[in-house]
Structure 1
Amino acid sequence: MKTKEEVSDKVSELIEKNIDSYNGFVKASEKAQDMPLRDYLIDQAEERKFFAADLSNELKNYNSEIEIDTQGTLSASFRQSWLDIKALLGGNSDKSILEECIRADRASADEYAKFIKDYSSASPEIVSLIEKQSQRIVNNLDNQARLKDILS
């Protein structure tokens, strides 16, 4: 059984990941040329912002003493810089933007799956919320694959 601190740390990581995703989707939407793709990316950004807020609220209920970081991670800064570099080199097509979003969401899906596997003894509210968010990310990956086919 994981300690309260271990669960809190892992949920905090998921919050940071969602903040990273929010920032990444916003950046991608600014670079997208296709309006339906841009709208989709903005919707995804908003969803990740809600994911982070919901996780933050649930974490505060679980562990009222925790300080929640809302800045995102250093790896996200590199990913966003990668989008900027790609744009300078001419690789800023809607397809390449979507490919980067898919890569990031696959990483998120993996982190969520790892939490569900390794932290199943966390509070039922946290586990349930993470399972629901995980399913949304997996569904979004399916949508992104279809969008990629359309953009090809």
Structure 2
Amino acid sequence: MFDSDKNGVTVLKTLTDTLGDSINGYRDAATHVESEQFRQMFIELADKRSTIMDDLQAELGRLGASADRDGTTLGHLHQSWLDFKAGLTGRDDKAVINEVERGEDYLKEKFETALKSDSLDPTVQGVIQRAYGSVREGHDRVSQIKHSLEGQPSA
């Protein structure tokens, strides 16, 4: 048996679970926004996250492990809570963007924590670093939109 921490299996599984939450969150957000521009952006970002997940899962396979693509229980509970809240209060584009940006902050933090690990195999570190570039790009894109909407009233 191999040392999961040294090989990065535990870290990769955590990141793939969190990416699953991100993919599910983007797809859910795409169904709740009014703007076609935002809908297309969320679909595009979900697709990009799916590609990142494929890369991380390929690395897990190389290490003799696997992870599912469904996300975490906490992520599913969060989505259920958002759906319930939306049913009570409604969702507008600004509210959806705010929630997506919160998820982006969480995902970015997970990747940054992983990259600070001193015990990762250099190959695993490289895979995570490449994935992080895409995560950071998506985060920054959503963050810019959120900040541009801050001065506008909610619908």
Give distance in 1, aligned partners of 2:140 and 2:73: 27
Alignment check: 8 A CA contact 2:57 2:66 kept? no
Give distance in 1, aligned partners of 2:104 and 2:147: 17
Alignment check: 8 A CA contact 2:60 2:66 kept? no
Q: Deviations over 1:10-52 (max 9, x none)?
A: 1111011111111111011011110000000001111111111
Aligned pairs for 1:35-74 within 5 A: 35-61=36-62, 63-64=63-64, 66-74=65-73
Return the letter of the residue paired with 1:138. R
Shift of 1:126: 1.7
State the partner residue of 1:34.
35
Mean Cα displacement is larger for which, 128-137 or 43-52?
128-137
Give distance in 1, aligned partners of 2:146 and 2:134: 18
Q: Does 1:142 align with 2:149?
A: no
What TM-score, normalized by structure 1, do the two folds share? 0.88
Instruction: Provide structure 1 residue ranges, at least 5 long, that are not aligned to the other structure.
Output: none
Give distance in 2, aligned partners of 1:122 and 1:150: 38
Shift of 1:150: 4.1
Alignment check: 8 A CA contact 2:11 2:114 kept? yes
State the partner residue of 2:81.
82
Alignment check: 8 A CA contact 1:25 1:101 kept? yes
Shift of 1:141: 2.0
Shift of 1:132: 1.9
Give distance in 1, aligned partners of 2:128 and 2:114: 8
Alignment check: 8 A CA contact 2:21 2:71 kept? yes
Shift of 1:69: 2.6
Shift of 1:144: 1.1
Return the letter of the residue paired with 2:83. D
Give distance in 2, aligned partners of 1:83 and 1:39: 20
Give distance in 2, aligned partners of 1:76 and 1:142: 21
Alignment check: 8 A CA contact 1:83 1:97 kept? no
Give distance in 2, aligned partners of 1:4 and 1:104: 30
Shift of 1:82: 2.3
What TM-score, normalized by structure 2, do the two folds share? 0.86
